[in-house]
Amino acid sequence: MKDTLLSERRPFMKKKIWLLSLLIFLGIALGIGLFIGLPFFLVTGNETIEKDLELPTAPENTSHPQGSPSPEKEDSQLARKISSYMRQMAIQKFERNLQSEDFALPSLSGDEVRLSDFRGKWILLNFWATWCGPCREEMPSMEKLYQEFKDQNFVILAISIDQEEMGVVAHFADAFHLSFPILLDPKQVTTSTYAVNSIPTTYVVDPNGMIIGGARGSRNWESEAARNLIKVLLETSQKSRS
């Protein structure tokens, strides 16, 4: 009987062993597949995410911070501002800068003053006279402009062409409370040098002694345009020194 049972169970056991072997094989195959496929899935998934998000690359290192204008662009913007404010003031901007001629004239205090003494400053070089109505009109606003910017590398030089005694000019300066330097040229030597055909005439001279523009007739020198012009001119000087 024992042999009979064994003989009857032997086919069943063979089937069982075969099924067990099959399961083991499938398990091993599944494990291998997962081992190989999972990393591939992860890599593929990450690549897909990066592609979908379009991750940006690191910006290149530049000489100026990202988002700030380049020095060339800043210079161009300042130049446009200067031109704009000069137009608003009806000051002619010369196509090319002209080298100013140095001169030596006495001041109201009797000291000899040269244009070159103010090298490094922006200069409003003004030609005027006490008998000139438009000159009298613009002098108060010129004084206010001078008071605002006199400590910032800016000066006004007013050349009187009066042929009267110095006392007349001094009295005028006191009456209008003028504090900027007033120079005396009764022989009108500088008017010939600077082609002054009418007064008032004003030239804008840069810190290097170059004349960048000029105006004939009176101006409101305390206007917003005038103040903005001086601010931008001083800003260009600060940039050149930095």
Residue 160, pLDDT > 50, answer yes
Query: What is the number of alpha carbons within 13 Å of residue 19 lying toward its C-beta?
Result: 6
What pLDDT score does 10 carry? 47
Mean pLDDT of 78-93: 95
- Helix-strand-coil percent breakdown of the chain, rounded to 5? 50, 20, 30
Query: Which is it for strands 154-160 and 182-184: parallel, antiparallel or unpaired?
Result: parallel
What pLDDT score does 80 carry? 94
Mean pLDDT of 102-128: 97
Q: Where are the domains of the chain?
A: 1-55, 71-241
Query: Which is it for strands 112-114 and 210-216: parallel, antiparallel or unpaired?
Result: unpaired
Helical H segments across 89-223, by residue range: 133-149, 166-175, 189-193
Residue identified by tokens 């042929």 is 163
What pLDDT score does 5 carry? 26
Closest CA to 143 of 172, 109, 114, 103: 172
Residues 159 and 186: beta-carbon distance below 8 Å: no
What pLDDT score does 164 carry? 87
What pLDDT score does 3 carry? 41
Could you tell me which residue, 75 or 168, shows the higher pLDDT? Answer: 168
What pLDDT score does 71 carry? 45
When the pLDDT of each residue in the chain is averaged and rounded to a whole number, the result is 79
What pLDDT score does 115 carry? 98
Could you tell me which residue, 186 or 56, shows the higher pLDDT? Answer: 186
Could you tell me which residue, 35 or 154, shows the higher pLDDT? Answer: 154
133-169 residues labelled b (16+ CB within 10 A) or e (exposed): eebbebbebbbebbebbeeebbbbbbbbbbeeebeeb
What pLDDT score does 156 carry? 98
**pTM of the model as a whole:** 0.70
Percentage of the chain modeled with pLDDT above 70: 68
What pLDDT score does 31 carry? 56
Closest CA to 125 of 213, 39, 37: 213
Residue 153, pLDDT > 50, answer yes
**Is 71-241 a CATH 3.40.30.10 domain?**
yes
Band the pLDDT of 58: cuts 50, 70, 90: very low
Angstrom distance (rounded) from CA 183 to CA 162: 10
